[in-house]
Amino acid sequence: MCGISGWWSFNRPLGKEFNIVGLTSGLSHRGPDGKSIISLDNDMLQLGHTRLSILDLSDSGKQPMSYAQGKFYITFNGEIYNFLELRQELVSLGHQFRSDSDTEVILASYVEWGEDCLFKFNGMWAFALWDSCKQRLFLSRDRFGVKPLFYLFDGQNFIFASELKAFMALHKEVKPDLDPEIISLFSNLESTSLTLLKGVKNLNASHSLILARYGQPHLKQWWRTSEHLIEVPSNYADQREQYRELFFDACKVRMRSDVPIGTALSGGMDSSSVICAMAEIQNSNGDLFHSRQASNWRKAFVLDYTGSTHSERHYAQEVINYVQAEPNFRELGLEKIEPEDLNRSIFALEAIQEPGLGPWLIYQQMRSQGIVVSLDGHGGDEQLAGYHFYCQAAFQDALWRWRGIGSFGDIQNVFNGLYDVADLPEGMSSQLPPSQLKVLFDFFRQGLREKVFSKPTLYQLLRQIKYLLNNRAFSFSKIATARTLPVGNRQSASIATTFLKKPKIKGYDYLNQVLYDDFHGGTLPVILRNFDRLSMSHGVEIRAPFLDYRLVTYAFSLPSSTKLGNGFTKRILRDAMHGFMPESIRTRKSKIGFASPMIKWIEAPLKDFVLDQVHSQIFLDCPIWDGKQVRERVVQAYRNFQPENVYKDWKYIQAHTLMQAFYQAY
């Protein structure tokens, strides 16, 4: 929705030299429809906002916004989807409103319920609220960390912003520098408070922060999904019906918008379910205007990796035909990649991993077509076991619960459909070389049921499974991250602890526990970080129905059999969507996910870019890595026609490109 910023100084008034003008301007891409800064607390506090107009397009919806005769001010990024219901409740309690925005509903909710207002919100948010009565700042992030918020506190200055790059525009006296020790981890940090900038911290998902004058930031985790699990029906048919009702309502409230909306469609189960649900909602509700739902929702944007096994165009076309959507295809081939696009996507991402060039381009196209809201399918895989590596957890459950050994066959059936080893998407991350990978696939496909029922001793079976797990053909992200952290780095231990020491949920089997961990502290936080930055770099807001907290708590209250079962991943979603989407998509077993054809790109269109980077003097002189060794490996790999070996060193190239972008930004 927007970009937010702020600075509370304890030792001098903010003015001409020390201010948040640059900090706020550094977020203009997040809110291209307007920029505002206000000074409060005798010029000791400044709040900034860059606006992406979605709800209440009038000046009444501008931020920072005040309430109760200026006693409270807020700068807010996100959406509160149930704001209409909350507004009605607040009006009945005596509150009056000047706007039709969800922002004012947050202010009134805080006045009425205090910090507990967070539990009332169904949405995504990062906000900072100034309470002049208590002389304090109240910052909050949504339950699952959809919207970002970073802060710096040095004892005299508290500064916050929506993105790291904005901090680079601060006055040199308080401007943070890149942290070489953090960069050297080459790790995803989304589940920690660490960032790439010294002294700048990430306010974690489901956390709030309170800062009183001359005090220290007080952090509090206000939400834990495990504390809100519910009792679900024992009958699967009833579970399915309730899941469908929740999913459709999650889509419906996310269609509330005063501007047209679209969707990023891959042709996979999750994004296809979203647009098919939108079509059903429109067909069954008719009059969308009075519920503040967008009447124009039919534009579907499809990224087509032409000439690659990553292309899902034909699947997306089936869905487009089914719902009569307006197709917008963005082709990205293997012939040419613009270096400027690559650099800009890396800078937008603010992370050291594969560049999100494909999604960056698709949201660029959305914006060019006048679409600034996209309903996407993020979160379904981590709730409902959509990835191949979740089969590993299900195998372990089937083994340890010996009485359920018959479920091996069902899990094997699921695994069979996910990938053909001869047709793995390029760049698929694996811990085993292709020869061993094929052996593993053959084991699952041909021998598993036979091995289980040919009466081997339990000891022999345990040894076979233990070997597979120890070799980690497909490692869960949190374990893989912890194991790759460099020894001797002072931050490694704390990060490893964050990833490996997760709360154990009572009554969970291994699969549900893995899903819970991956959703809250593994794969999903990284995906949310990536897609927020890539979409908002073009001023496009992503809304994810699968992240509706009602749906999340319901999904994590369900048994594993509703997720991996009957020969499918995401069993309950597939069954819930029966009759609402193309049957070929609903029963599709293959999966590509978010991977891009990086190895193919490195082999041809990115070759000159890669070689230019590793030969640059700045790259060679960087103290974080041995530039000469990396250059020699890369050059040798190209000579031997081994782009996959160049890919192994991509992290250094991305880190170098990102660091230069940060230094050159301001």
* Torsion angle defined by CA atoms of residues 445, 451, 453 and 458, in that order, rounded to the nearest 10 degrees: -130
β-pairing, 65-67 vs 72-80, is antiparallel
Q: Which residues pair with 256 in a beta bridge?
A: 293
Contact 105, 144 (CB under 8 A): no
Task: Tell whether 102 is in a known binding site.
Answer: yes
The token pair at 581 is 């989407």
Q: Angle at Cα 306 formed by Cα 438 and Cα 583, nearest 5°?
A: 75
Query: According to the model, what pLDDT value does residue 457 have?
Result: 44
Give tens-digit pLDDT for 105-147.
999 999 999 999 999 999 999 999 999 999 999 999 999 999 9
**Which pLDDT band holds residue 283 (cuts at 50, 70, 90)?**
confident
Q: Which residue has the higher pLDDT, 479 or 382?
A: 382
Give tens-digit pLDDT for 484-504.
445 445 555 555 555 555 778
Contact 421, 437 (CB under 8 A): yes
Give tens-digit pLDDT for 444-454.
544 444 544 44
Give tens-digit pLDDT for 574-608.
999 999 999 999 999 877 765 688 999 999 999 99
The label of the residue with tokens 């909602």 reads 281
Average pLDDT value over all residues in the chain: 87
How far is CA 172 from each of CA 46, 169, 176, 470, 475, rounded to the nearest angstrom? 18, 8, 8, 49, 43
Sheet holding 299-304, edge to edge: 326-331, 299-304, 262-264, 373-375, 541-543
Query: According to the model, what pLDDT value does residue 435 have?
Result: 52
Residue 456 has pLDDT above 70, yes or no: no
Query: According to the model, what pLDDT value does residue 528 have?
Result: 96
Q: Among all residues, which ones are annotated catalytic? A: 2
CB-CB neighbours of 466 under 10 Å: 11
Give tens-digit pLDDT for 554-567.
999 999 999 988 88
Residue 322 has pLDDT above 50, yes or no: yes
Which CATH superfamily is 228-334+344-383+521-587 part of? HUPs (3.40.50.620)
Residue 420 has pLDDT above 60, yes or no: no
Helix (H, G, I), strand (E, B) or coil at 237: helix
**Which pLDDT band holds residue 311 (cuts at 50, 70, 90)?**
confident
Residue 257 has pLDDT above 90, yes or no: yes
Query: According to the model, what pLDDT value does residue 422 have?
Result: 47
Give tens-digit pLDDT for 617-646.
999 999 999 999 999 999 999 999 999 999
Can you tell me the distance from the alpha carbon of 131 to that of 125, in angstroms, rounded to the nearest whole number?
A: 18
For the chain, domain boundaries: 3-223, 228-334+344-383+521-587, 598-665
Count Cα atoms within 13 angstroms, Cβ side, for 455.
Answer: 0
Q: Which residue has the higher pLDDT, 591 or 88?
A: 88
**Which pLDDT band holds residue 462 (cuts at 50, 70, 90)?**
very low
Domain 3-223 belongs to what topology? Glutamine Phosphoribosylpyrophosphate, subunit 1, domain 1 (3.60.20)
